[in-house]
Amino acid sequence: MERHGHRDTWVLAPMVDQSDLPFRKLVRKYGCTLCFTPMIHAKMLLTHAVYRRKFLIRDDPTDRPLIAQLCGNDAETLIAAARLIEPYCDAIDLNCGCPQMIARRGNYGAFLLESPDALVETVKQLVKGVNVPVCVKVRLVPTSDSLCETPQTDWDASIDLYRRLVREAGIAMLTVHGRTRHHKGPTIGKADWDAVRRVVEELGSEIPILSNGSIDSLEQALECRQVTGVDGIMSSEAILEYPALFAGGERISRVQLAYEYLKLAKEYPPELGGQGSGTKCMRAHIHRFLDGDFEGNNHFRQALIAAKGREDLWDIVDQVAAIQKENGHDVASEKLSWYMRYRNGHADGLSDRHKAERLGSTKSRSQDSDDEVEDVEGCAQCVFDTNNNDGDY
Which residues make up each annotated binding site?
Answer: 14-16, 69, 137, 177
Letter for the amino acid at 280? K
Q: What's the rounded Cα separation, in Å, for the pair 255 and 313?
A: 12
| Secondary structure class of 231 (helix, strand, coil) | coil
Instruction: Find residue 233's DSSP bridge partners.
Output: 10, 211
Candidates 32, 89, 98, 281; catalytic one: 98
CA–CA separation, 241 and 195 (whole Å): 27
Q: Are 234 and 175 in contact (CB under 8 A)?
A: yes
Interatomic CA distance for residues 246 and 109, integer angstroms: 27
Cβ–Cβ < 8 Å for 45, 92: no
98 is catalytic: yes
Annotated binding site for FMN: 14-16, 69, 137, 177
Catalytic residue IDs: 98
